[in-house]
Amino acid sequence: MIGLRNRPRAADAASEAADCALAASGDTRAFERLYRKHVARIHSLARRMIGGDMADEVTQDVFVRAWEKLGTFRGTATFGTWLYRLAINLILGRRAVLGRERERLSEGDGILDRMSYPERSPELGIDFEAAVGRLPNGARHVFVLHDVEGFKHHEIAELLGVTAGTSKAQLHRARMFLRRHLER
Amino acid sequence: MGDTWEQLLSEYLDGELSAVDRCEVEAHLADCTECRVTLEELRAVARRAAALENQAPERDLWIGIVQQIAATGSAEPGIVDIGERRAGRRGRITVSLPQLVAAGIVLVMLSAGSTLLLQPGGSEPVMQSEAALSQAAAVQAVRVGFDVTEYDAVIADLELALDQGRDRLDPNTVRVLEQSLATIDRAMLDAYEALEQDPTNSYLSAHLAATMKRKVELLQRAATIARAAS
């Protein structure tokens, strides 16, 4: 499973497969190359999903976990896909530790319902990414996974442990909120 | 615009509605300016989200990752970094595609030569596709991990053993062996030169390490045959 965005090109996939194999044999320099290649995507995912204050820590955890699990990487998917899935699982697992995800999703409904969609005004001209960060957790996760990363609702439902209907509803609410924060 | 219609706009935008619902929404959109405006705003949000750029962290996290790897004891001895071994002569010049293709051809020849020599009990080469040979070379390259620092000593010992038993080998075997070793040496020299220009090139590092290992294996096999013939 991978979002439609960020699918690697064939040449990139071949290159990262070679580095992955070297890293699996203990070559930290090859692993550093994989880190350099993927850190922006993983860090951005972490920042959008879990917040900027924890993004550095989570990103480091993802790569340390990847190093530890490289022996289980069979190459049936690209390393990028494998790493990305590992990152999502770790991020969602972290959220599960910090709180009860299902309840947060339910709470998210209420929070967004209570948040009146703001009218446009100069002071609302905040950065779009910052506005995404102000979404309740459930809506933010669905929005990031669907609209930023390209996952389908049934995939998101599987990842988050919710129904596809909940995913659709969260996405719509997130979009309705964010439409007022588009840069003009 | 009623809530019912509004709720359907994102699903309409994403193509998630059934044909019947899609037709109903389209009929409504034809008459509802507010819904058309909202739909365009939702579309703009989705486009904006899809266009978000990934950004690297403000500080380099690699040092922390390496420290954690070391702290957990999960660091393993890696393949010797040839670029580091040849420190002090680093440069950064892009290796051209023809160079890489040429390196690939050399590796295929190398694989074929080794296959020929290492066939037990005969000198008939086993026909393999270039793709299979390349794949085999790649698989071997990533499984190398031998101690390159001992390479020179190992090679010297094996060459001495082979010289001592060369007279006992079949002339055809000696000829194939020498051709293969010459091919290996050329491939290694090419790889060294390419790595001097691009020390971080993982393909070249892997290919060089695999080539060095292949030379060791070739000499080991030849020395074994020579000893057995004595």
Domain co-membership, B162 together with B206: yes
Asked if residue B182 has pLDDT above 50, the reply is yes
CATH class of the domain comprising A10-98? mainly alpha
**B197 and chain A in contact, CB less than 8 A:** no
- pLDDT the model gives residue B70: 82
Reported confidence tier of residue B212, pLDDT bands at 50, 70, 90: confident
Query: Per residue in A101-139, pLDDT tens?
Result: 444 444 444 444 444 444 444 344 458 888 999 899 889
User: What amino acid is encoded at A98 in this protein?
Assistant: L
Answer whether residue B144 is part of any domain.
Answer: yes
Answer whether residue B203 is part of any domain.
Answer: yes
Query: Per residue in A73-97, pLDDT tens?
Result: 887 778 888 899 899 999 988 876 6
Q: Looking at residue B152, which CATH number applies to its domain?
A: 1.20.1200
Residue B41 structural domain: 3-50
Burial status of residue B206 (CB atoms within 10 A of its CB: 0-12, 13-18, 19 or more): buried
Q: Which residue of B has its CA nearest to A178?
A: B45
Rounded Cα distance between B202 and B129, Å, is: 24
Tell whether pTM > 0.80: no
Rounded Cα distance between A100 and A96, Å, is: 5
Domain co-membership, B116 together with B170: yes
Rounded Cα distance between A158 and A145, Å, is: 12
Q: Which residue of A has its CA nearest to B199?
A: A29
Output the average pLDDT for chain A.
80
Q: Which residue of A has its CA nearest to B61?
A: A60
- φ/ψ (deg, to 5) at A125: -80, 45
Asked if residue B192 has pLDDT above 50, the reply is yes
Residues of chain A positioned with their CB less than 8 A from the CB of B46: 147, 175
Domain co-membership, B28 together with B94: no
Answer whether residue B72 is part of any domain.
Answer: no
Q: How far is B33 from chain A (nearest CA, A)?
A: 17
Lookup: tokens for B13 = 């935008």
* Domain A101-181 grouped into CATH 1.25.40.10: no
Query: Per residue in A17-35, pLDDT tens?
Result: 788 888 888 888 999 999 9
- pLDDT the model gives residue B23: 94
Q: Give contacts of A 21-50 with B, CB under 8 A.
A: 21-22, 24-30, 32-33, 35-36, 39-41, 43-44, 47
Q: What is the DSSP string of chain A?
A: ---STTPPPHHHHHHHHHHHHHHHTT-HHHHHHHHHHHHHHHHHHHHHHH-HHHHHHHHHHHHHHHHHHGGG--SSS-HHHHHHHHHHHHHHHHHHHHS-HHHHHHHHHHHHHHSPPPPP-GGG---HHHHHHTS-HHHHHHHIIIIIT---HHHHHHHHTS-HHHHHHHHHHHHHHHGGG---
- φ/ψ (deg, to 5) at B96: -75, 160
Do the Cβ atoms of B76 and A68 come within 8 Å? no
Domain co-membership, B112 together with B15: no
Do the Cβ atoms of A56 and B61 come within 8 Å? yes
Count of domains for chain B = 2
Rounded Cα distance between A174 and B42, Å, is: 10
Domain co-membership, B32 together with B132: no
Residues of chain A positioned with their CB less than 8 A from the CB of B6: 176
- Compute the average pLDDT of residues B10-37: 92
Residues of chain B positioned with their CB less than 8 A from the CB of A128: 48, 52
Domain co-membership, B43 together with B86: no
- Compute the average pLDDT of residues B90-115: 39
Output the average pLDDT for chain B.
67
Domains A10-98 and A101-181 agree in fold: no
Report yes or no: B204 and B86 within 8 Å, Cβ to Cβ.
Answer: no
Rounded Cα distance between A58 and A64, Å, is: 10
CB neighbour list of residue B166: distance below 8 Å, 6 or more residues apart: B174, B226
- Residue from B151, B171, B170 nearest B220 by CA: B151
Q: Which residue in A67, A90, A144, A152 has the most chain B C-beta atoms within 10 A of its own C-beta, making it the best mutation to test that interface?
A: A67
Please state, for a pLDDT cut of 70, what percent of chain A lies above it.
75
Do the Cβ atoms of A67 and B74 come within 8 Å? yes
User: What amino acid is encoded at B11 in this protein?
Assistant: E
Lookup: tokens for A164 = 């596809």
Q: Which residue in A57, A143, A176, A184 has the most chain B C-beta atoms within 10 A of its own C-beta, making it the best mutation to test that interface?
A: A176
**B172 and chain A in contact, CB less than 8 A:** no
Range name among A40-54, B93-107, B153-167 with the lowest pLDDT average: B93-107
Query: Per residue in B130-173, pLDDT tens?
Result: 444 344 344 334 334 444 556 667 777 777 777 777 777 777 77
Report yes or no: B79 and B145 within 8 Å, Cβ to Cβ.
Answer: yes
Residues of chain B positioned with their CB less than 8 A from the CB of A33: 200, 202
- pLDDT the model gives residue B78: 34
- Own/partner contacts of B60-63, CB < 8 Å, gap of 24 or more, are B61/A35, B61/A39, B61/A43, B61/A56, B61/A59, B61/A60, B61/A63, B62/A32, B62/A35, B62/A36, B62/A39
Q: Which residue of B has its CA nearest to A24?
A: B142
Asked if residue A3 has pLDDT above 70, the reply is no
Domain co-membership, B205 together with B99: yes
Answer whether residue B114 is part of any domain.
Answer: yes
- pLDDT the model gives residue B75: 54
Asked if residue B206 has pLDDT above 90, the reply is no
How do the domains of chain A map onto residue ranges?
A: 10-98, 101-181
Rounded Cα distance between A93 and A96, Å, is: 5
Domain co-membership, B44 together with B87: no
Domain co-membership, B18 together with B107: no
CA angle, A33 as apex, A31 and A38 as ends, to 5°?
Answer: 95
